[in-house]
């Protein structure tokens, strides 16, 4: 589904990434870790088309994609309603959502444990609530490829485990391919998931069960 070949990214004299090579197959669940400033976000911005590589080739099959960026558009004066933000994640939109679409929005709000926010303004939501709304927006159309850049940064710890369980259900039942950038693998990871350690280049790429040995050789993530 995805192939990076000798990919590099430079900003002036700063080399953000170099010699990046890996492949992702349909249905894979990849966790990307690494220190601050290591190029994790740059790597996924290349995939969604927000950046172009300075060198190398990125091959991506024509798939539907859901993307949750690290920095959300959560301006204090954002006038949109919760239901409107989520509706913008549908593949096709009309002036007014259908009753079926509204039911689906309510279903996901319930799944994210914020059913009361359907008619709320985004202006009145906490950071954690806004993050859940944007998560639903990324998930609502059941994309074939889901890219999440630190999706739990504003979520309370009690909900994170439920959220990751939801992701694994989508991977297993829908064969969704998931790329997940994180600082903390503790809540998220299962042994058969892929793990990538990035620090300007890929230092490790493989199953999580093999990642322990890499960590024990002196590498750690923030």
In angstroms, the CA 197 to CA 35 distance is 9
Question: pTM of the predicted model, to two decimals?
Answer: 0.88
Q: Which residues contact 222 (CB under 8 A, 6 or more apart)?
A: 35, 36, 183
Q: What is the pLDDT of residues 16-60, one digit of tens each?
A: 999 999 999 999 999 999 999 999 999 999 999 999 999 999 999
Q: How confident is the model at residue 95 (pLDDT cuts 50, 70, 90)?
A: confident
pLDDT at 74 over 60: no
Task: Tell me which of 92 and 115 has the higher pLDDT.
Answer: 115
CATH number of 1-63+144-222: 3.40.50.300
Would you kindly state where each structural domain of the chain is located, as residue ranges? Answer: 1-63+144-222, 75-142
The DSSP line for 96-161 is S--HHHHHHHHHHHHHTT-GGGTT-BGGG--HHHHHHHHHHHHHTT--SEEEEESTTTTS-HHHHH
pLDDT for 222: 46
- 9: tokens are 């990214």
In angstroms, the CA 113 to CA 63 distance is 29
Q: Is-contact 1 51, C-beta < 8 A? A: no
Q: What is the pLDDT of residues 116-137, one digit of tens each?
A: 999 999 988 988 899 899 999 9
In angstroms, the CA 70 to CA 185 distance is 17
Comparing C-alpha atoms, which of 176, 183, 185, 175 is closest to residue 207?
185
Strand partners, 121: 81
3-class SS of residue 167: helix
Q: What is the pLDDT of residues 150-199, one digit of tens each?
A: 988 888 888 888 888 899 999 998 899 999 999 877 766 777 799 999 99
Q: Is-contact 207 195, C-beta < 8 A? A: yes
């Amino acid at each position: 589904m995805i192939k990076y070949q000798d990919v590099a990214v430079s900003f002036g004299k700063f080399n953000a990434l170099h010699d990046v090579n890996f492949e992702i197959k349909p249905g894979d669940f990849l966790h990307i870790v690494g220190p601050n400033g290591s190029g994790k976000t740059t790597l996924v911005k290349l995939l969604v088309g927000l950046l172009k590589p300075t060198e190398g080739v990125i091959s991506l099959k024509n798939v539907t994609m859901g993307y949750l960026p690290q920095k959300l558009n959560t301006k204090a004066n954002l006038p949109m309603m919760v239901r409107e933000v989520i509706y913008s994640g549908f593949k096709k939109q009309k002036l007014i959502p259908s009753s079926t679409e509204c039911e689906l929005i309510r279903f996901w709000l319930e799944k994210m444990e914020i059913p009361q926010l359907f008619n709320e303004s985004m202006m009145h939501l906490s950071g954690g609530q806004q993050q859940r709304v944007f998560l639903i927006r990324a998930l609502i159309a059941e994309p074939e490829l889901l890219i999440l850049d630190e999706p739990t940064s504003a979520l309370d710890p009690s909900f994170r485990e439920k959220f990751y369980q939801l992701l694994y259900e989508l991977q297993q039942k829908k064969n969704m391919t998931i790329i997940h950038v994180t600082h903390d693998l503790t809540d998220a990871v299962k042994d058969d998931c892929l793990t990538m350690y990035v620090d300007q280049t890929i230092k490790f790429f493989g199953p999580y069960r093999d990642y322990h040995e890499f960590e024990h050789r002196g590498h750690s993530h923030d």
